[in-house]
Amino acid sequence: MKIFLIKTGIVFFSALVFFKLTIGFLYNSFQQKLDEKFSKEQTILIKEKIRAEMKKGIEKDKILDNEDAELIGKFIKKLLSEINQN
């Protein structure tokens, strides 16, 4: 019985180490990438870029092409008709 417990402990410990070295490493690297992408400085930078693009769009005479405007109009009408049905 003592040998069984020792072998079970070794297998469990080995599995734990294997998990930490493979899945744990992948999880940590993925977490670091997410933290870099959604850091405070990065979100501020993205907001500034969006604001700059919106200002450029406001200054233009026409934001959408006729084809795009027609497509968006049809899409909105369809959404409104589905909302009104419910």
Where residue 76 falls among pLDDT bands split at 50, 70, 90? Answer: very high
pLDDT tops 80 at residue 86? no
Digit-coded pLDDT (tens) for 11-70 = 999 999 988 888 888 888 888 888 887 888 888 999 999 999 999 988 888 888 899 999
Taking residue 56's Cβ as centre, other Cβ atoms within 10 Å add up to 10
**Are 55 and 73 found together in one domain?**
yes
DSSP letter for 22, please: I
Q: Assess whether 47 and 86 both reside in one domain.
A: yes
Q: How many domains does the chain have?
A: 2
Tell me the pLDDT tens digit for each residue of 1-13.
889 999 999 999 9
Domain around 63: 40-86
At residue 20, the pLDDT reads 87
Global confidence as pTM: 0.44
78 and 46, same domain (yes or no):
yes
The reply to whether 49 and 72 lie within a common domain is yes
CA–CA distance, 16 with 10 (Å, rounded to integer): 10
One domain for residues 33 and 53: no
